[in-house]
Structure 1
């Protein structure tokens, strides 16, 4: 097979044993450093992608993409839903009513956002069905005052399915004997685990008609409608337009960017900044190739002089060392890509096993919005990281190769 002379010699220099073993060691460390940089960058970007994915599919799958509410209870939410569904971006609509308060049991207290839903329609706008551990939405029957709570709240309150809880509403009832807080007994009909601390600890789900009675409304009255969009990033704009069409003075819209937008933007910004910082690590590892090739050039001055006297041009000499440096970069990048892909695919399971072995949670749901380390490997990230490493490796070969091309045969052979 035909190979150009500079490719043959450059590849031979790469695999040949050098007289100066220190040069070989530096070459090996450059390759290992580049590989480690690629591994770390792929793994970290995959973890950031995992946080982004879990934020969109898990947390934003539970909270409303957008809601349309009124200053007064809505009597005919079905007619309102029919108008809203005329927008092609609206995938599903469901009614809801909310009330904040406290859940108490045996002296234990837990704050809660009680969310009244229609069990038959809630699955169209929420992914709660995917995370129910015990019971189901269908168990939330009107008039029975059942409640579903997260496993974190259930653990804190010490309750399970079938146990009773007391809900304390943020209102008081005035009687001749004085003012008393409004309370209602609920029966735990289900427990869910989303993996997000704020949802598993502070969200309760009950039947929408039961919560209407607690508000002292008619059973068919609701607080608003919850919307699910084809593209959640269009939610702010479309929800505002829908509210305008329904009547600016009668209805107003809320969307997920008001409650979780800052967190989502922070994840995106962190991914960009961490990617940039890790790219600098890859750059440092890639530019170690400069020192390697400079030492190789000094070690091969005699060989370079002989090649020049045999008729090799400065361009061919330069190409020889560019090939050698590029081979180091390609091998290091390939090894890093393979190890990085394997690590990114298994980092979640590895961290979960480590947490189990040492008995410590690295991501506490009281602090972070999820309680486990997610990872999502994306081909675009792997291509970007490998491409950047290869480009930096190639750029690192230019200066040493240029120095090799400037070697004067007579000067190099003077003391040979």
Structure 2
């Protein structure tokens, strides 16, 4: 089988046992460093992709992609607006809602909450809550019964479960002849949900008719919640829809409520990727020192090859093959280990948490309670190409130095 001379000799140099074991050790360390750098970069990028996915599917699956509310309060014509919204291009579903803030109390336990008044029939089309009910059902929110669906964290903090009573207190007061009293109401827990995010401790649902009575919304509906086919177009689509509606409306989209979290994840992904790429670059350019020592060690061999007629280009190709082979092996091993680890990182972290009895991601602090991972082959290809390219560039200077070796000077003392 035909093999070019530079490839043949470079491969022999790579496989041959060296008299200088220190050079072999440095070559091995360069390869291991490149492997670890590529592996860690793939794992971290997959985890950041996982956080990005969880933000889109869980957080933005529970909160509105966009909402339209009337400037003067309640919506009397909400059915017409809802039908017009569903037919608008880019909108997948719509649902009426009433929302407010309050405190939930059970005995001495008190917890703040964002309360949504929803129609279960409509809410299932715009929210993922029905897929994450762990007890009860959203359909149990029947008008006039004042039931409430809580997140698991809220229920644990308040010490309640299905069938228990909780008191909701609004930050408003009723004034009558007897004095000033806070507005409050007893609700029965009819369901518990868990999405593995901080929304489990800050969100609750009640029937929209009960919410309208309790929150004193005159028209019964405060606004229309929208679900988009493409959530990144939510601001533009919601604005265009509001402009086509008769009357004045206030438009709010997810970029105002959750946008900072999404931007923070994107910025962290970019910065972490850049920093870890520099680590890969450092590992790749360790090949420079390895090849320089190899060139110094092989001075007499280079001189003999030059004497036998090898051109400077051939000498340069020999050491480029040797250095590139180190980069290829290190990058391939890093990709294999990184892909395997990225596909199993959630199980690995869960095992570590179980063995060490620790919790890396507490839902009280972070917006999810586990380490997500989403392997994107585009990232793997980009990282692989970057590792191979940096490894190739690292071979150029030492190989060029080798090609400039003068036979007479190299053999003077041999």
TM-score by length of 2: 0.98
Question: Offset at 1:382?
Answer: 0.6
User: Aligned to 2:361, what secondary structure does the other structure show?
Assistant: coil
User: 1:300-322: per-residue Cα shift (whole Å, max 9, x none)?
Assistant: 11111111111110000000000
| Corresponding position of 1:13 | 13
Distance 1:189 1:75 in 2: 29
Question: C-alpha distance in 2, partners of 1:360/1:176?
Answer: 55
User: What CA distance in whole angstroms lies between the structure 1 residues aligned with 2:363 and 2:349?
Assistant: 16
Residue 224 (1) aligns with residue 223 (2): yes
Q: Give the Cα–Cα distance (whole angstroms) in 2 for the partners of residues 30 and 278 of structure 1.
A: 16
2:319 matches 1:321: yes
2:170 corresponds in structure 1 to 169
Unaligned 5+ runs, structure 1: none
Distance (whole Å) between structure 2 residues aligned to residue 262 and residue 296 of structure 1: 51
Tell whether the 8 Å contact from 1:301 to 1:412 is kept in structure 2 after alignment.
yes
> Any residues of structure 2 matched to 1:288-327 within 5 Å, and which?
288-327=286-325
Q: How far apart are residue 136 of structure 1 and its match?
A: 0.9
Q: In 2, distance between residues paired with 1:134 and 1:313? A: 78
Distance in 1 separating the partners of 2:48 and 2:348: 17
Q: Which runs of 5+ in 2 are unaligned?
A: none
The secondary structure found in structure 1 opposite 2:222 is strand
Structure 2 CA distance for aligned equivalents of residues 137 and 295 of structure 1: 70
1:186 corresponds to: 187
Indicate if the aligned counterparts of 2:73 and 2:217 stay in contact, CA closer than 8 A: no
Matched residues in 1 for 2:335 and 2:84: separation?
51
Bigger mean CA deviation after superposition, 231-240 or 354-363 = 354-363
How many pairs were matched up? 413
Q: Tell me: CA distance 1:217–1:311, structure 2 relative to 1, closer, same or farther (3 Å).
A: closer
How far apart are 1:175 and its partner, in Å? 2.3
**Which residue number in structure 2 is paired with residue 214 of structure 1?**
214
The CA distance in 2 between the partners of 1:265 and 1:97, in whole Å, is: 28
1:363 match: 361
Equivalent pair of 1:240/1:252 in contact (CA under 8 Å) = no
How far, CA to CA, are the matches of 2:157 and 2:55 in structure 1? 25
Q: What's 1:196 paired with?
A: 197
Q: CA deviation at 1:269?
A: 1.0
Report the counterpart of residue 267 of structure 1 in structure 2: 265
- When structure 1 is superposed on structure 2, of 81-90 and 111-120 the one drifting more is 81-90
Give the whole-Å Cα distance in 1 for the aligned partners of 2:108 and 2:20: 76
Deviation at 1:390, TM superposition (A): 0.3
CA offset at residue 171 of structure 1?
A: 2.0
The CA distance in 1 between the partners of 2:354 and 2:180, in whole Å, is: 50
Distance 2:356 2:181 in 1: 48
- How much has 1:241 moved relative to structure 2? 1.5
| Match of residue 105 from structure 2 | 104
Residue 28 (structure 1) aligns with:
28
Contact map agreement 1:115 1:205 (CA 8 A) in 2: yes
Alpha carbons 1:69, 1:223 under 8 Å: kept? yes
RMSD, matched Cα: 1.1
In 2, the alpha carbon distance for the partners of 1:348 and 1:191 equals: 25
Q: How does 1:23-172 map onto structure 2 within 5 Å?
A: 23-70=23-70, 71-172=72-173
**Contact kept in structure 2, 1:112 and 1:204, CA below 8 Å:** yes
SS in 1 for 2:35: helix
Q: After TM superposition, which residue ranges in structure 1, 4 or more long, deviate above 3 angstroms?
A: none
Alpha-carbon distance change, 185 to 4 in structure 1, aligned in 2, over 3 angstroms: same
Cα deviation code 1:323-353 (max 9, x no counterpart) = 0000000000001110111111111111122
**Partners of 1:76 and 1:221 within 8 A in 2:** no
- TM-score normalised by the chain length of structure 1: 0.97
Greater CA drift, 33-42 or 81-90: 81-90
Take 2:301 and 2:413, find their aligned partners in 1: how far apart are those partners? 13
Distance in 2 of aligned mates of 1:84 and 1:406: 73
User: Quick check: 1:31–1:328 contact (8 Å CA) kept in 2?
Assistant: yes
Question: How big is the shift at 1:366?
Answer: 2.5
- Displacement of 1:217: 4.2
Provide the rounded CA distance (Å) in 2 between the counterparts of 1:185 and 1:202. Answer: 18
Q: Secondary structure at the match of 2:145?
A: coil
SS at match of 1:398: helix
Cα separation, 2, equivalents of 1:116 and 1:76: 18
Q: For residues 251-290 of structure 1, what are the structure 2 equivalents within 5 Å?
A: 251-290=249-288
